[in-house]
Amino acid sequence: MEEGVSFQYTMSDRKGKPDGTTDYYVKDVSNSGGTTTATMNMKFTDKKGKEVMVSDFKFSCTGDGVKIDYNSLVPSQMMKQYTDMGMEMDISGTDIDIPNSLSVGQELKDANVTVNIKMTGMNMTMKVDQTNRKVEKKESVTTPAGTFDCYVLTENNVSETMGIKQNMTSKIWLAEGIGMVKQEMYNKNGNLSSHMELTKYNR
């Protein structure tokens, strides 16, 4: 929540091979009515060094916790691409809620986003649901960016596009004052499918 702070996450596939990096930069912070809102710039670069996607989204923080605006998590480039093609997009959802005070065993609120895309003769719906969110344990974790004391959050992720569902589970390591330090995604059989960790952090 400080202007100029930057993070870099490196993604790997299930075999540990690099799959690309995502850079985040806090470009603007404002305060109003007891709420701090930060605009985060995100840039995804693939394993070949090609810039694939750039987008902005927002975080808000109050005395109770942090909310991630799900409406603005939909990549702006994707929205522009669809609108340039004459498509209408309607986005609805529930923000991701992370309380300031976490404890082992705590259950967190579900989150979701639905994107309806309309074009002459075609309608498409994409959904993502995050359910069964809870704090599993406390754990110290080390990445190239340092060693951090974290809470480990687990959740179920169900995505659906054109009636086709995909079920995943994830583990997220959160450190106070930093945010996400590591994330692991598992397929429906419980096998690791991808891994992401904080590799650079500058403030």
Q: How far apart are CA 49 and CA 47, in angstroms?
A: 5
Closest CA to 183 of 161, 153, 162: 153
Q: Any idea what the Cα angle at residue 46 is, between residues 43 and 52, rounded to 5°? A: 50
* Higher-confidence position of 139 and 92: 139
Give the predicted TM-score (pTM) of the model.
0.83
pLDDT, one tens digit per residue, over 85-133 is 777 878 888 888 899 889 999 999 998 888 888 877 778 888 888 999 9
Q: What CATH number is given for 6-200 in this structure?
A: 2.40.360.20
Domain locations along the chain: 6-200
CB 172 within 8 A of CB 151: no
Classify 78 as helix, strand or coil.
helix
pLDDT in tens, 6-62: 999 999 988 888 889 999 999 999 999 989 999 989 888 988 888 877 888 888 998
